[in-house]
Structure 1
């Protein structure tokens, strides 16, 4: 049998651990992530994307194979045929005793070593290689599961996935943070949010969600900001502020419980003891939150938006995410509905994580009246012409409606207890980083 045949019949490592075929001959293939020798025994750690397994080989049993092992290095791609045995000392309690080894692809000397890593910047320069590490893999696997769980919840609760455009003509969150793109003689922008288009879609589907990238030309160099990030955004016809927060709370709890259940191995690798929040989540008003922050040393005055420090000060009294509601109109975008009981306020909220991780989501009730929306656009000195189609939605049957957006990287950062959102996305984009 040719070598090109036998290793193509390999099993996925995760399937070996599921079926535990003790005594059977299996074929595994993948990348070497660890090599060690103890006396006359060699140990090879192999990963294939689905999991990790240990391969062992005794020099006395197969001296010719040991010659191959002596030439192996980390990140070589190999195939191994051998017998599955139980061994409590091996990761997962199983290992493969090698009978045959073939090198599929040789690796150059691995550049990410303890002596080579002088700064976090070096690791991000080598991000295309760094994502192979067990720690980064675990973070990205959790991110993938977060997105899967979001879609599960949305699909099970009557939401339709809606795809909005990336190229847009008008701003959603402020013109100062737009990325301009030359578009066949015109200037368009990379989308900041799917919200405005979702508000069109609710007249078709009632409930819609979008899970995709957004772009903001913010020069913020903080642990919480990226110029390209992903959001789950949803819009709900006939929903008021309370209904909006209820759905977000349900979604968050569903996702967190799912991650805790499905990603135990990844959380263990990260050393994170993640406990999903139990509902109900606390709710306080902006004014109440400001009083808490000022009592702890904040100098923010009423009518100003909260700083990251303010959010941290308020979060110190909570052990789970909490809602801050009814922000002043001066801190909110033009589309937020004003509180009918106090027009200084909006029917809006932020969802803030504990332990100083900051804002996870923002949302609220939208303005559904044409004249009120025009007034808000004018007050914020925005060009009416850029929102002509959005205004037109109010002319042809526009019920009360609400929505929210939650950042995927911020959610993953909080779950995984990461120092920065840059760790929560495969290839982060910041004002200073746009490669690899």
Structure 2
């Protein structure tokens, strides 16, 4: 049934007159009487279907008129190139099969532009995810993680998976989610740090991509209770070696997203600038001095405020590292400098005002 199916993007690249079979969801319908235009959506994009008396026949045109949004259909027909069609090509249909009907609340139809409250969207998340903008975000997320894996493996790193139910905290207990573990108390992992350190003592270079949990009571867009982290650990390496891996990975990921997600970026109205390495290195002391020059006073030994991070972000056109942080601001596993134990072999990567 699905053996010869092609995706919408392949239709747009096909030669005139090629016979194709497609399957997907009815995204939108335009009924002009003798001709019905349908936008079909699949996992690769959208393509226009044409039902006309000449090509499809009266019975098929009437069947097309009865379709509803989000109906699942399979069609066959011939490719025709025309500048009037989205993407420059369309399919003139001579066979239609309704795989499944659908009833969709009007405010959740994927082609609608009306803003809907988050609670409503989450109640019908499957429908909400069918909006092209949400699909684009998931597609970009996939490419980011795929590119990160490729880069890290090219650098000799091996992927590992560490426990997500832990007995003790890694970076302080205040941000832990407690869970019942049979007759004991356990916690959701906030970091794979201690596991990575043990694994790097065996495999030298390891990385993990997986969920992490932090019970930080905050409603800003900078704090998530659950997120996907990319963690690396390397033996026989210092902080400069790790920064080179990190900046190389970020630059590679940006390049891959730019090349592989052009239509998604256009849909989201986002433009990614190519990055050159190495990124700027700025010491903690230099950061404080630059902030003082613009009237933001940070006492030595204190963490940077959001206002300070925003100000620093405006000073640089791309990502930059802040290095040599005060030791007491960092977790216990960060190594103090031999020449000045009050400072540590540590760094934060900043991109604009985001850490």
TM-score (norm 1): 0.76
Aligned residue in 2 for 1:27: 21
Does residue 228 of structure 1 match 2:222?
Answer: no
Whether contact under 8 Å (1:40, 1:60) holds in the other structure is no
2:298 to 297, 300, 306: 300
Aligned residue in 2 for 1:246: 244
1:89 Cα shift?
Answer: 2.1
Stretch of structure 1 that moved more, 232-241 or 336-345: 336-345
Whether contact under 8 Å (1:304, 1:330) holds in the other structure is no
* Runs (5+) with no aligned partner, structure 1: 360-436
Whether contact under 8 Å (2:288, 2:297) holds in the other structure is no
Aligned residue in 1 for 2:323: 325
1:36 to 30, 34, 49: 30
Spell out the pairing of 1:353-368 with structure 2 (5 A cutoff): 353-354=351-352, 356=353, 358-359=354-355
Whether contact under 8 Å (1:142, 1:263) holds in the other structure is yes
Aligned residue in 1 for 2:195: 197
Whether contact under 8 Å (2:11, 2:90) holds in the other structure is no
Separation in 2, partners of 1:309, 1:214: 26
Separation in 2, partners of 1:159, 1:107: 46
Aligned residue in 2 for 1:79: 74
1:243 Cα shift?
Answer: 0.9
* Runs (5+) with no aligned partner, structure 2: none
Separation in 2, partners of 1:197, 1:122: 40
Separation in 2, partners of 1:119, 1:301: 42
Aligned residue in 2 for 1:65: 60
Whether contact under 8 Å (2:22, 2:76) holds in the other structure is yes
1:120 Cα shift?
Answer: 4.3
Separation in 1, partners of 2:298, 2:32: 62
Spell out the pairing of 1:392-431 with structure 2 (5 A cutoff): none
Whether contact under 8 Å (2:31, 2:65) holds in the other structure is no
Does residue 165 of structure 1 match 2:163?
Answer: yes
Spell out the pairing of 1:262-281 with structure 2 (5 A cutoff): 262-281=260-279
TM-score (norm 2): 0.93
Whether contact under 8 Å (1:160, 1:208) holds in the other structure is yes
> Does the residue aligned with 1:223 lie in a helix, a strand or coil?
coil
For the aligned residue pairs, the C-alpha RMSD in angstroms reads 1.9
Separation in 2, partners of 1:243, 1:286: 19
Whether contact under 8 Å (2:160, 2:206) holds in the other structure is yes
Separation in 1, partners of 2:297, 2:28: 52
Separation in 1, partners of 2:64, 2:308: 57
Aligned residue in 2 for 1:144: 142
1:16 Cα shift?
Answer: 3.3
Aligned residue in 1 for 2:99: 104
Aligned residue in 2 for 1:187: 185
Separation in 1, partners of 2:227, 2:234: 23
1:54 to 29, 38, 48: 48
Higher relative contact order (CA 8 A, sep 6+): 1
Separation in 2, partners of 1:125, 1:344: 51
1:103 Cα shift?
Answer: 1.4
Aligned residue in 2 for 1:342: 340
Separation in 1, partners of 2:203, 2:314: 40
Spell out the pairing of 1:285-296 with structure 2 (5 A cutoff): 285-296=283-294
1:82 Cα shift?
Answer: 0.7
1:218 Cα shift?
Answer: 0.9
